[in-house]
Amino acid sequence: MSEALWIKDPLAILADGAEGGLVVKDGQIVELVGKGEKPKTDAKPFEAGEHVVLPGLINTHHHFYQTLTRALPAALDRELFPWLKALYPVWAKLTPEALDAAVTVAMAELMLSGCTTTTDHHYVYPKGLEDGVDIEVAAAKRLGLRVLLTRGSMNLSERDGGLPPDSVVQDEDTILADSERVVSRFHERGEAAMVQVALAPCSPFSVTTSLMRATADLAAKLGVRLHTHLAETQDENAFCQELYGCRPLDYLEDCGWLNDRVWLAHGIHFSAEEMPRLAKGGVSISHCACSNQVLASGGCPVCDLEATGVAVGIGVDGSASNDGSNLMQEVRAAFLVQRARYGVAKVSHKDALRWATRGSAACVGRPELGEIAAGKRADLALFKLDELRFSGHGDPIAALVLCGAHRADRVMVDGRWTVEDGAIPGLDLDALMRRHQSAARRLQG
Ligand SMILES: [Zn+2]
């Protein structure tokens, strides 16, 4: 049993009835403290008078390896399909050392922006990178970040009418065998789980129907979640129409994917008729506001999805389309793009924060995360308002979103501090950046 900690009298907190803070014990929030009150639990105080306390932010879509190809000249100013075609040959040169550097950079960037749980969608497996998930698990454990890593896959290459080249795809048997291996080796169950694994064929245009179906069956058998990209672009609609004679959602349903294990990245091009089918199935959506704008893919109808009963979370998406992994900035981007779409009455800063916390918790299937309440896991992001950008603020929580907070002062995951004074203890960022930049140069050269 660890000593209880009282996050005492915060400047502001995103929770009801917690003006006096909260108490953390054994990785869990055990008590909220009302205004002017003291905790019932015997707890050591942490003075939070300068901190705005949020539930830890949850990132529901990313491709860590893409931090190695940010702002790549060959991929600039292209839409999704030509953008991917420009990048696949570069990604085909990915090595275990480069992936380790990329994963560490992405995780560090996320953590410093207030992230406590992240997913990653790793689907590129050139020869020599068969242990991609193993590398990611090791990095997450080193840094103390909670993760839902997905065993991604591609098996439909150019030769068979798909988009990626042969050098980055694997065959179905190899993919399914490794999926089973990484789930049995790494997937933890229960509310305190720090490492979980989901299965994630990449997209309709890079995976065969047979693999889509087999992956859904395997996920049901193993009791894990399922993820893929869907309804991202009009090109994808046209591809599905041509190859499968239907729209992407019809195809997904035909593959056995309309169920509550599933969360989908993007979810832009759904019709009004399709949204209730998502809701009925219990499918949730990862909204990737920056990526959608950079690639001009379109805009996710977040409020329409939510009104239909579909949970929506936030994802930074791969760093080659965003090109950053800052989750707090992604909250602001989602707020801006959805505010512009729906107007002031429908979208507030609190909605954007809700998407990145409770909405994202639904995407990753972890109702014990994403909220500051007794009984939830102690995942917290604490921001200070001592930067120039906040000077003159009124509402401290609104200031985080509206003034553009980008760096947390402290982050806690399962009761342990993972960020202190704006830094990750034990991580030499300069050395990491040198290692990462030289890996990127080798890949791009
Ligand atoms: Zn993506």
CA of 123 to the centre of ligand 1 (A): 10
pLDDT > 70 fraction of the chain, expressed in percent and rounded: 100
**How far, in Å, CA of 122 to CA of 146, rounded?**
16
CA of 317 to the centre of ligand 1 (A): 5
Closest CA to 424 of 135, 111, 147: 111
DSSP state for residue 2 in the 8-state scheme:
P
Matching residue, tokens 């998407």: 355
The predicted pLDDT at position 229 comes to: 95
Q: Which residue has the higher pLDDT, 163 or 373?
A: 373
Average pLDDT, the chain: 96
The predicted pLDDT at position 319 comes to: 82
The pLDDT tens digits for 242-278 are 989 999 999 999 999 999 999 999 999 999 999 999 9
Tell me the mean pLDDT in the region 373-392: 98
Tell me the mean pLDDT in the region 111-136: 97
The pLDDT tens digits for 34-74 are 999 999 999 999 999 999 999 999 999 999 999 999 999 98
DSSP state for residue 423 in the 8-state scheme:
B
Is 81 in contact with 163 (CB distance < 8 Å)?
Answer: yes
CA of 433 to the centre of ligand 1 (A): 23
CA of 286 to the centre of ligand 1 (A): 10
What is the enclosing helix (H) or strand (E) of 309? none
CA of 134 to the centre of ligand 1 (A): 20
CA of 301 to the centre of ligand 1 (A): 18
Neighbours of ion ligand 1 (CB under 5 A): 317
Sign of the alpha-carbon dihedral angle for 72, 73, 75, 76: positive
**How far, in Å, CA of 331 to CA of 406, rounded?**
10
**How far, in Å, CA of 334 to CA of 356, rounded?**
9
**How far, in Å, CA of 187 to CA of 121, rounded?**
15
Closest CA to 407 of 327, 322, 313: 327
DSSP state for residue 113 in the 8-state scheme:
T
CA of 34 to the centre of ligand 1 (A): 41
CA of 333 to the centre of ligand 1 (A): 17
CA of 118 to the centre of ligand 1 (A): 14
pTM above 0.95, yes or no: yes
161: pLDDT strictly greater than 90: no
The pLDDT tens digits for 319-336 are 878 899 999 999 999 999
The predicted pLDDT at position 154 comes to: 96
CA of 142 to the centre of ligand 1 (A): 25
The predicted pLDDT at position 106 comes to: 98
Residue type at position 245 = G
The predicted pLDDT at position 1 comes to: 60
CA of 293 to the centre of ligand 1 (A): 13
The pLDDT tens digits for 173-213 are 999 999 999 999 999 999 999 999 999 999 988 999 999 99
Ranges of beta strands (E only) in 14-84 are 21-25, 28-33, 44-47, 51-55, 57-59
Reading phi first (left if > 0) and then psi (alpha if -120 to 50, else beta), residue 417 is in: beta
- Chain-centre distance of CA 227, in angstroms? 11
Model confidence band, residue 438 (pLDDT cutoffs 50, 70, 90): very high
**How far, in Å, CA of 22 to CA of 7, rounded?**
5
